């Protein structure tokens, strides 16, 4: 690496080492990935942005003093671990990894009806959602249990296992049917086990259906999308928002004020400085070539006009003539 011009303080030592030691985004989506890795990546990104902003004046001086050296040093900086360009690539990769991890966790939670799993955290089981939102009313079920004494729902209400009873009747696939069939347990919430079944058989073997169940499922999936997160990454939504903006997804524009937007602006500045330093360097070299050409021309002109050169030239001619006469 070329020596830096005086005042051209590019990242060295601790700052560059810290950026180089920051985890690679691909390490996040591994069994050892955690929020500590995310913090390391964000620390390097913040350092790059702050570092670039604090060096603009020094770079301006360096380009003015020695633009050709600045060309080399800016190229070395751009390729280094602490540059805004390097950290921009890491930030964009980190945003994609975080989004994919979060989307996968949400999909898994919805596929498993929110039941506890090591594949995701947060959210709420669909059965609990049905009860908490009163989509399946425990009081209505208690009345049904009174009518159908000895039925599964009666036993569930009497033994305090109503939540388990509701969960056992979650449909096998999503979304749940909106058709009103079977036995209506509470308004719009039905249990259906197929044609020819008795009320008790519907309660015993049936699966949730009905308009209230479908509406509850749609609301629940929205809730899960906002509440579920990957294991060990409880702050992934906040981090993804800071990186790329609220609601960002791959292929969409990043949001205003996001880190990626700031890094892109800084990288644009870096490219402009690189182009400026290259233009100034090319101009300096052209001026040097022109100056050298003019110096040679001037020396030749001076030699032709110098009386001593003319005298030496005349003496040389006379000596040649005398030699020829002998």
pLDDT above 90 (res 4): no
> Which residue in 58, 113, 49 sits closest to 85, CA to CA?
49
pLDDT of residue 108: 96
- First-to-final CA distance of the chain: 68
Structure confidence by residue, pLDDT tens digits, 80-134 = 999 999 999 999 999 999 999 999 999 999 999 999 999 999 999 999 999 999 9
CA distance 52 to 57: 10
Q: What mean pLDDT is predicted for residues 229-258?
A: 94
Q: Determine contact, residues 157/186, Cβ cutoff 8 Å.
A: no
Q: Is the pLDDT of residue 44 over 90?
A: yes
Residue 2's pLDDT is 42
pLDDT attached to residue 14: 61
The reported pLDDT for the residue numbered 5 is: 44
pLDDT score of 262: 96
Selection from 314, 255, 275 nearest residue 71 by Cα: 275
pLDDT band at 160 (very low <50, low <70, confident <90, very high): low
Top pLDDT among 303 and 230 is at 230
pLDDT at 7: 41
pLDDT in tens, 47-59: 999 989 888 888 8
Q: Is the pLDDT of residue 300 over 80?
A: no
To the nearest 10 degrees (0 to 180), the angle between helices 211-227 and 84-111 is 150
The predicted pLDDT at position 156 comes to 61
Strand pairing partners for 209? Answer: 190
Q: What are phi and psi of 115, to 5 degrees?
A: -65, 150
More confident residue, 37 or 19: 37
DSSP per-residue letters across 100-117: HHHHHHHHHHHHTTT---
Contact indicator for 286, 111 with CB cutoff of 8 Å: no
pLDDT reported for residue 317? 46
Please report which confidence band the pLDDT of residue 266 belongs to, taking 50, 70 and 90 as the band edges: very high
CA distance 31 to 61: 48
The structure tokens 């989509």 sit at 135
Instruction: Please state the pTM of the whole predicted model.
Output: 0.78
Count other C-beta atoms under 10 Å from residue 7's C-beta.
Answer: 13
Q: Quick check: 46 pLDDT over 80?
A: yes
Average pLDDT, the chain: 83
Q: What is the pLDDT of residue 3?
A: 46
For residue 324, pLDDT beyond 50: no
Q: What is the pLDDT of residue 94?
A: 95
pLDDT at residue number 200:
79
What pLDDT is stored for residue 102 in this prediction? 95
What is the per-residue pLDDT for 140? Answer: 64
Length of the chain (residues):
326
User: At residue 51, what are phi and psi to the nearest 5 degrees?
Assistant: -65, -40
Tokens linked to 302: 């001076």
The answer to whether 85 touches 11, Cβ cutoff 8 Å, is no
What mean pLDDT do residues 27-52 have?
90
- Is residue 322's pLDDT more than 90? no
Report pLDDT for 66.
92
């Amino acid at each position: 690496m070329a020596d830096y011009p005086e005042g051209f303080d590019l990242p060295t030592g601790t700052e560059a080492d810290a950026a180089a030691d920051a985890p690679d985004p691909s390490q996040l989506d591994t069994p050892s990935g955690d929020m500590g890795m995310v913090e390391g990546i964000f620390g390097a990104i913040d350092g790059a942005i702050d570092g670039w902003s604090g060096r603009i004046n020094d770079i301006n001086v360096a380009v003015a003093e020695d633009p050709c050296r600045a060309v080399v040093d800016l190229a070395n900086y751009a390729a280094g671990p602490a540059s805004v360009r390097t950290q921009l690539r890491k930030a964009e990769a980190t945003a994609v990894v975080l989004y994919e991890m979060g989307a996968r966790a949400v999909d898994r939670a919805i596929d498993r009806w929110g039941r506890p799993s090591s594949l995701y955290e947060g959210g709420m089981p669909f059965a609990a959602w049905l009860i908490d939102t009163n989509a399946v009313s425990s009081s209505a079920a208690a009345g049904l249990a009174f009518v159908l004494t000895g039925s599964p729902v009666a036993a569930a209400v009497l033994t305090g296992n109503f939540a388990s009873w509701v969960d056992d009747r979650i449909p096998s696939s999503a979304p749940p049917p909106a058709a009103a069939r079977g036995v209506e347990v509470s308004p719009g919430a039905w249990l259906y086990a197929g044609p020819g079944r008795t009320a008790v058989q519907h309660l015993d073997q049936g699966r949730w259906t009905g308009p209230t169940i479908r509406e509850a499922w749609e609301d629940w999936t929205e809730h899960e999308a906002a509440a579920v997160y990957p294991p060990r990454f409880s702050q992934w939504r906040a981090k993804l928002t800071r990186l790329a903006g609220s609601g960002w997804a791959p292929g969409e524009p990043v949001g205003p004020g996001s880190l990626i937007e700031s890094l892109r602006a800084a990288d644009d500045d870096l490219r402009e400085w690189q182009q400026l330093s290259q233009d100034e360097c090319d101009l300096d070299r052209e001026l040097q070539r022109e100056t050298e050409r003019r110096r040679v021309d001037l020396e030749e002109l001076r030699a032709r006009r110098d009386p001593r050169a003319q005298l030496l030239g005349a003496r040389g001619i006379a000596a040649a003539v005398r030699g020829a006469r002998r």
